[in-house]
Structure 1
Amino acid sequence: MNLQKLDPLEGFKPTISMLKIFSVWNSSNMFYKIYKNVTTLSLAITYTCVMICVVVNFNVSEINENFYYIPALSTAPFKLVIFQKSFKKIQNLLFLLQSQYTKIRSEKQAKMVEDSVVLSKRVVKVFAVLVVPTCVGLFGMPLLKDEIKLPLIIWIPFDYHEPVVFGLVYFVISFSGSFTAYINIGTDTFFYNCLIQIETQCNILSDTLRNLHEFGRFEAEIHTILIECIEQYKTILKFTKILSKTYQGILSVQFICSLLSLCLTMYRMSLADPGSEEFLRYFVFQWGVLPEIFLYCYFGHRVLDSTKNLYYSTYELQWYNTSAKFKTNLLIFMGQIQNPIVIYVAGIFSLDLETFKKIMQKAWSFFTALRNIHEQ
């Protein structure tokens, strides 16, 4: 086993590349800074013009028909600002993670790291492909209509109906909108990757505890490995704490906006004719939003399960053949890991599948309420 070839950050490379392309990452390169400022300005102008149009013309029927994508569109600016503000914490996360791969003690544990890298890359690829139909539906389908309109409801402070000007404005809006989608994907998949690595580190720690007497021959050596496991768990807790603080605002914005988008999209789908262009557009958009919050809860649930298994793994080691000092340290460690690692949204809701179930129930309740109001 060559530990030099093991790098848990390998799974982050596609996500970091995406964050760099879509102006979320920080770099000292002058050309990148110029590119980042231009794209960020374009995104800010587009979002501001959309919100001005929504606020000024809130009661117009066209605004109401297209309001379903406003909450989802609003997440990217918030994520961009929060991610930038917390960039030093992001770098600290990567440093902490890289320091953990030296704790790998067997081929089985090395395979765990390799599998986590494969899973991280797969999640990024799936999301990058999944967002394409959403962008095509939102920005491409208006071009198929007899009367072509701008893809987003937006306030433009000049006459844009000349063909060349209209085409340029349409391109800028579509570019900014697609940019928004990939900013969401980049920041989301970075969080998913972090959760995957927390789960992996807990699984490695569990395997070390189960096979403690295989990794150490003598009492002193076994006790040293136990102390290393305790320190490793402290690092996992530190990593989780930094991640929770960094993403607390992002998680709150994401879940509120996703819930609103789901409710509004379901409502618009119920009013549209099945098989129509409108129904298809709403359906595709909804399936762009739904996996986003599902994976937050899914990977959070996996972390929860892995930390529960970590506690139970302490019962599988041969503690009865150890010294009183070892048993004392083991009992103290068991007290520390008795409560599983849970990441909370706004300090209230835990990231697990039960929370996802509750979100879907709330979305259905709000949809039913909107439907009843419309029928009255």
Structure 2
Amino acid sequence: MTTSRTLPTWYPFEWEGKLGLCFILFTYELCAGFTFVILEVVVDTFMACLLLIIGGQLESLGYRFKNLPADNAIMWRIKFKEYVEDYNSIYKLSREFENLFSGTIFIQALFGCLLICLSAFALGLATDTGTFMRFVAFIFTMLYEVFLMCYAGDYLTEKSEKLLFDLYSSSWPDIPQDCRKMVLILSMKFGNPIVIKFGFIQHLLLQTFTKIVDAAYKLYALLQQVPE
């Protein structure tokens, strides 16, 4: 403890050989490391949970559209109007999420691709088991971080696409003609599902996760061609 630090951090004072000061620095590094990890996990989980909650609201809305009361035209109109207002609120929420976090997701995907590539390159140069396991754990952590966001975005888009099926699964043939026109107009809007976009009009889908991994592999292959 008195001759080396847990983290390769520079301090503007001499600490070697001073047990009390080394213990304080060790405690500081331990607390800082745990705080950073917790904040990283909380931020990533928070964004993914928001997308999953929005997707869950869309799934609930689809269930309500599917069970619109066809035996009472007045009640049908009231419920239909209420559900359309709910959809507009959900759509607005998804756009606000995109405006707030699209930049963060883009930076996360960009650095995730870069760090996966560099970690894989460093993994090939590892000479001891400890270093090898650290880089393996880091690569899987970065893959999970990127996958979580892509999965949550894909879940939201999937539930948005399913709304059109749920709308047509209702008893719309049994409702008055003016109500069927309302269904037709809304179906045109449901034809454009909600998709979260980030950086260069990339879509937050599971296909995007495969693109990020593919880009990391291509960059890794390029580094392999660099002469030592």
TM-score, L = length of structure 1: 0.57
State the alpha-carbon separation in 2 of the partners of residues 148 and 288 from structure 1: 31
What is the aligned partner in structure 1 of residue 114 from structure 2?
Answer: 260
Correspondences of 1:1-376 after superposition (within 5 Å): 149-161=4-16, 162-213=18-69, 217-273=71-127, 276-373=129-226, 375-376=227-228
Deviation at 1:264, TM superposition (A): 1.3
Distance 1:170 1:349 in 2: 42
Aligned residue pairs total 227
> 1:228 & 1:347 partners in 2: Cα distance?
35
Q: CA deviation at 1:362?
A: 0.7
- Point out which structure has higher relative CO (alpha carbons under 8 A, 6+ apart): 2
SS in structure 2 at match of 1:156: coil
Partner residue in 2 for 1:59: none
- Percentage identity across aligned positions? 24
Distance 2:123 2:32 in 1: 25
**CA RMSD after TM alignment:** 1.8
Opposite residue 262 of structure 1, the aligned amino acid is: I
Partner Cα distance (2:43, 2:163) in 1: 28
Partner of 1:80: none
CA distance in 1, matches of 2:95, 2:200: 12
Separation of aligned partners in 2, 1:367 and 1:164: 44
How far is the alpha carbon of 1:332 from its aligned partner? 1.6
Note the C-alpha offset of 1:324.
Answer: 2.4
Cα 1:151–1:290 change in 2 (3 A) is: farther
Runs of 4+ aligned residues of structure 1 deviating over 3 Å after TM superposition are: none
Q: Which has the larger radius of gyration?
A: 2
Deviation at 1:347, TM superposition (A): 4.8
Could you state the TM-score of these two structures normalised by the residue count of structure 2? Answer: 0.92
Alpha-carbon distance between aligned partners in 2 of 1:245 and 1:153, rounded to the nearest angstrom: 37
Aligned partner letter, 1:296: M
* Structure 1: 5+ residue stretches without partners: 1-142
* CA–CA separation in structure 2 for the residues paired with 1:160 and 1:294: 42
Cα distance change, pair 221–359 in 1 and its aligned pair in 2 (3 A): same
